[in-house]
Amino acid sequence: QIPGFQGMQACIFRVDSSISVRTWRFVIYYIYGVDVDQEATRLARSAKELLELVRACCMYSLPTPILSFAEASLCNLLSSVPASLALEAFVLAQEYGDERLRALREDAAYWVVRGWHDLLREGRQVNEPACILSTALGMIEAVLRQRAGGTPQKPSCSRV
């Protein structure tokens, strides 16, 4: 029961702490049909919040249009974000293994490989670095093979 509201009930739903209030507010606005244009414009410029939105979509099985918006917007920003954020995006896309995250996984793989030296220079601690790098390179190779008309092969290391 909600105090002061006769006959209404509520359910408390805890959202993972890795998802900010602003990001979750966008989700709620979208689901309840509130005009999200202004929020979407703001969100589309923040790679960190877009990554949170992708994570929320995967964790809570949110509607595909939200995931598509987050993925497309994040892919557009990957060229201008630190390598550590591209790595986070790559690991997240690999972790959930959702086929809908294919574009994000492939784009992030490219930016991880391209920025690998930055990660090392920053002293970034990466779990299983050889496996991540091998998987990213394998993914890039598969994309290039596919574009060349060959048969794509799965990356050899799948523990990422």
Cα(133)–Cα(112) distance, integer angstroms: 8
Percentage of the residues of the chain whose pLDDT score is greater than 90: 45
Strands (E), the chain: none
Cα(52)–Cα(30) distance, integer angstroms: 15
The gap between the terminal CA atoms of the chain, to the nearest Å, is 44
Q: Which position has the token pair 């990356």?
A: 155
% helix / strand / coil in the chain, to the nearest 5? 65, 0, 35
82 touches 111 (CB < 8 A): no
pLDDT, mean of each 10-residue run, the chain (160 residues): 68 86 91 85 92 95 94 95 93 88 94 88 74 87 84 52
pTM score over 0.85? no
